[in-house]
């Protein structure tokens, strides 16, 4: 019920100042009336009887004196069956239905139901009349795609409730009352298949928060082996424009070992978003053999949309992720790109006339970014099951400068850093993650000492390469040149991965460990060559065999045949194993 109204007293871009009469709360939703439309906005600051609202729509036509209605509700999303497979904007409007209603050019002031209200769901109760329940307890289940969707006590109902009535098994619509709960004062609270939850309030209905330990397998060798991501952890992918951030996210979303994938295009260029919307419905999920969209939610807020909606899209995405985590599912949230979100914050901070920080970003940039990534995590629920939200965010620093504020603020809070390199991108080395700049605090699928030994060849090989740029190849010793060739071999056959190859695009942890063991023996072997040309020719030959090996089916006849060829080629030149590596290989 709307009981507070106000009047616009100033307009500054997408921010309006409103003098109100009544009670107004931070993050409350208000509607600015203009041209017969109601434009959705959010209260971001209150000073006396003046509230300042960021408008999620184009503010053309708003003038001093226009009326504003306050809803009394926080900016929230509707959660329940029917979320999977949806494409939303930052305010949880389903974009296909919005386009069908308004046409290709979306009209402002049009807001649709987030979930289909006419679809019926097969509800099966698991609780019974007389049971004592608390928020997030399961009342029943509904099948959704390949998952069992839990119908839970709304997260906003604090205290203990008694089930006074609950529907029997049958088909019900999303807004139908399926249970009635009685609180300790005897008040009856109806519960439907869906409910609303404020996007800026973390879901904290779990029993215990755990430290992320187990790796989230992405089937990308460079990530899983050298720079792993933990299930329930955080990571970032900074890189210059065109370095492959979006492509890497799409590959990860397809092959990562998670249940649900949520893509938040929070200000990415419209062309890349369109490509995602076209490709995802046609992709086959390697886990289920069905459409990948059946376990995906896309929050689409491109750079051509109003800046205020970028912030809303980030929080909408993470709230939906927490909701599915509360069902004991593992969720991967990919935000692309958080730089656009930070730029929107900078723009709004300027309009609020706040004291600017570095590069005019708001002084609270670090704490805001940290609060977003902190909503990731691995949790134990009341029934003992585990659920997780893993958050990966891309950053688009201008010119690929990792020293700029958004990248630095992100690096302080994430557990892994996958820095993309323009040099590697231009050299068509996929993924373009720089193997010397990147790092991870998490445990991977390969023992750390083995990874460190192999990574040493990459580092030493890079040093030799830099030296050769100064003194030339002829000024380098043969032993140093072999170290350089070993590092280049590791880069070519393990770091780089062919995303267009049906086999090499996604590599299982078992195959990664097996292949890494073979490469480790090659790196540890002592080889003798007459000159650098012979060494280069031999490593080129071995590299080609290994690339064919990577493209062969796991444990197929061709796989076994190529492995024998590789072992034979190595045995011809090997003069034993380096003593320093004996302990690592044991």
Answer whether 333's CB lies under 8 Å from 389's CB. Answer: yes
CATH for 207-440, among 3.40.605.10, 3.40.50.300, 3.30.420.10, 1.10.240.10? 3.40.50.300
Answer whether 250's CB lies under 8 Å from 275's CB. Answer: no
Q: Which residues of 207-229 are buried (b: 16+ CB within 10 A; e: fewer)?
A: eeeeebebbbbbbbbbbbbbbbb
d(CA 252, CA 49): 48
Q: Which residues of 305-323 are buried (b: 16+ CB within 10 A; e: fewer)?
A: bbbbbbbbbbbbbbbbbbb
Q: Which helix (H) or strand (E) holds 518?
A: helix 509-524
Give the pLDDT mean for 283-310.
Answer: 82
Ranges 64-68, 99-103, 533-537: which has the least confidence: 99-103
pLDDT for residue 416 is more than 70: yes
Structure-token pair, residue 380: 């134990």
- Residue stretches of the annotated binding site for ATP: 239-246
d(CA 100, CA 200): 30
CATH number for the segment(s) 4-74: 2.40.10.170
Fold of 120-193: OB fold (Dihydrolipoamide Acetyltransferase, E2P) (2.40.50)
pLDDT at residue 391, as a whole number: 98
pLDDT for residue 536 is more than 60: yes
Give the pLDDT mean for 12-19.
Answer: 94
pLDDT for residue 267 is more than 90: no
Instruction: Report phi then psi at 192, rounded to 5.
Output: -105, -175
* Of 464, 457, 412, 413, the residue nearest 436 (C-alpha): 457
Give the pLDDT mean for 20-32.
Answer: 94
* Tens digit of each residue's pLDDT (9 = 90 or more) over 69-78: 999 999 999 9
Answer whether 253's CB lies under 8 Å from 296's CB. Answer: yes
Percent of the chain beyond pLDDT 70? Answer: 98
d(CA 155, CA 138): 11
Answer whether 84's CB lies under 8 Å from 145's CB. Answer: yes
Give the pLDDT mean for 264-269.
Answer: 80
pLDDT at residue 301, as a whole number: 81
In this prediction, residue 249 has a pLDDT band, given cuts at 50, 70 and 90, of: confident
CA distances from 491 to 67, 83, 226, 325, 495 (A): 62, 41, 12, 37, 5
CA geometry: angle 63, 69, 74, nearest 5 deg = 120
Q: Which helix (H) or strand (E) holds 111?
A: none
CA distances from 548 to 149, 552, 559 (A): 43, 6, 9
CA distances from 209 to 103, 150, 413, 418 (A): 45, 20, 17, 25
Answer whether 67's CB lies under 8 Å from 33's CB. Answer: yes
pLDDT for residue 408 is more than 90: yes
Q: Give Dmax over CA atoms of the chain in angstroms.
A: 91
In this prediction, residue 105 has a pLDDT band, given cuts at 50, 70 and 90, of: confident
Give the pLDDT mean for 147-168.
Answer: 96
Instruction: Report phi then psi at 230, rounded to 5.
Output: -85, 145
Q: Which helix (H) or strand (E) holds 371?
A: helix 365-373
d(CA 255, CA 147): 18
pLDDT at residue 304, as a whole number: 63
Neighbours of 533 (CB within 10 A): 10
| 3-state SS, residue 399 | helix
d(CA 479, CA 477): 5
pLDDT at residue 270, as a whole number: 66
pLDDT for residue 217 is more than 90: yes
Instruction: Report phi then psi at 212, rounded to 5.
Output: -65, 125
Q: What distance lies between CA 196 and its chain's CA centroid?
A: 23
In this prediction, residue 281 has a pLDDT band, given cuts at 50, 70 and 90, of: confident
Instruction: Report phi then psi at 144, rounded to 5.
Output: -135, 110
d(CA 144, CA 190): 23
Task: State the residue for tokens 């350089």.
Answer: 484
Cis omega (within 30 of 0) for bond into 431:
yes
Answer whether 549's CB lies under 8 Å from 511's CB. Answer: no
CATH number for the segment(s) 448-585: 1.10.1140.10
pLDDT at residue 513, as a whole number: 96
Q: State the SS3 of 134-165.
A: CCCCEEEEEEECCEEEEEECCCCCCCCEEEEE
* Tens digit of each residue's pLDDT (9 = 90 or more) over 514-523: 999 999 999 9
Answer whether 309's CB lies under 8 Å from 90's CB. Answer: yes
d(CA 240, CA 422): 7
* Of 47, 58, 57, the residue nearest 9 (C-alpha): 47
In this prediction, residue 399 has a pLDDT band, given cuts at 50, 70 and 90, of: confident
pLDDT at residue 271, as a whole number: 66
pLDDT at residue 290, as a whole number: 84
Answer whether 554's CB lies under 8 Å from 508's CB. Answer: yes
Residue count (the chain): 586
Percent of the chain beyond pLDDT 90? Answer: 80
For the chain, the structural domain boundaries read 4-74, 120-193, 207-440, 448-585
* Those residues with Cβ within 8 angstroms of residue 451's Cβ, 6 or more apart along the chain or in another chain: 225, 226, 444
- Residue stretches of the annotated binding site: 239-246
Average pLDDT, the chain: 93
Q: What distance lies between CA 323 and its chain's CA centroid?
A: 15
């Amino acid at each position: 019920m709307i009981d507070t109204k106000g009047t616009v007293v100033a307009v500054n871009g997408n921010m309006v100042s409103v003098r109100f009469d009544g009670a107004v709360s931070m993050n409350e939703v208000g509607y600015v009336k203009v041209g017969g439309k109601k434009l959705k906005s959010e209260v971001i600051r209150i000073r006396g009887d003046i509230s300042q609202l960021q408008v999620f729509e184009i503010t053309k036509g708003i003038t001093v004196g226009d009326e504003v209605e306050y809803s009394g509700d926080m900016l929230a999303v509707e959660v329940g069956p029917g979320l999977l497979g949806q494409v939303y904007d930052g305010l949880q409007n389903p974009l296909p239905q919005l386009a069908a209603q308004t046409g290709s050019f979306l009209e402002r002031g049009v807001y649709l139901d987030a979930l289909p209200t006419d679809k019926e769901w097969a509800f099966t109760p698991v609780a019974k009349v007389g049971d004592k329940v608390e928020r997030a307890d399961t009342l029943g289940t509904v099948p959704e795609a390949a998952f069992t969707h839990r119908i839970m006590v709304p997260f906003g109902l604090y205290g203990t409730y008694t089930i006074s009535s609950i529907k029997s098994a049958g088909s019900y619509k999303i807004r139908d009352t399926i249970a009635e709960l009685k609180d300790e004062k005897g008040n009856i609270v109806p519960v439907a298949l869906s409910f609303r939850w404020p996007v800026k309030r973390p879901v904290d209905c779990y029993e215990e928060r755990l430290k992320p330990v187990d790796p989230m397998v992405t089937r990308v060798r460079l990530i899983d082996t050298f720079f792993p991501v933990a299930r329930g952890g955080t990571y970032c992918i900074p890189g210059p424009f065109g370095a492959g951030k979006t492509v890497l996210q799409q590959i990860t979303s397809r092959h990562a070992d998670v249940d649900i994938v949520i893509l938040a295009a929070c200000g990415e260029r419209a062309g890349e978003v369109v490509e995602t919307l076209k490709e995802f419905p046609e992709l086959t999920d390697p886990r289920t053999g069905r459409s990948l969209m059946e376990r995906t939610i896309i929050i689409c807020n491109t750079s051509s949309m109003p800046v205020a909606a970028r912030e809303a899209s980030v929080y909408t995405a993470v709230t939906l992720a927490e909701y599915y985590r509360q069902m004991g599912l593992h969720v991967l949230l990919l935000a692309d790109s958080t730089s656009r979100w930070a730029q929107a914050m900078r723009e709004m901070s300027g309009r609020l006339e706040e004291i600017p920080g570095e590069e005019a970003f708001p002084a609270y940039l670090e704490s805001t970014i940290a609060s977003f990534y902190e909503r990731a995590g691995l949790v134990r629920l009341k029934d003992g099951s585990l659920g997780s939200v893993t958050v990966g965010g891309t950053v688009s620093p201008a010119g690929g400068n990792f020293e700029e504020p958004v990248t630095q603020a992100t690096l302080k809070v994430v557990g892994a850093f996958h820095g993309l390199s323009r040099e590697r991108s231009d050299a068509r080395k996929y993924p373009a993650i720089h193997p010397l700049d990147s790092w991870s605090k998490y445990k991977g699928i390969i023992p750390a000492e083995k990874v460190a030994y192999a990574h040493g060849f990459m580092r030493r090989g890079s040093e030799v390469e830099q030296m050769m740029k100064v003194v030339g190849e002829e000024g380098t010793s043969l032993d140093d040149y072999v170290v350089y060739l070993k590092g280049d071999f590791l880069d070519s056959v393990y770091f780089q991965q062919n995303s267009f190859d049906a086999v090499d695009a996604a590599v299982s942890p078992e195959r990664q460990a097996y292949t890494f063991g073979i490469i480790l023996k090659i790196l540890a072997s002592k080889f003798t060559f007459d000159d650098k040309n012979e060494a280069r020719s031999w490593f080129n030959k071995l590299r080609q065999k290994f690339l064919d090996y990577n493209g062969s089916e796991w444990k197929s006849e061709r796989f076994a045949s190529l492995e024998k060829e590789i072992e034979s080629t190595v045995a011809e030149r090997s003069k034993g194993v380096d003593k320093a590596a004996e302990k690592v290989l044991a």
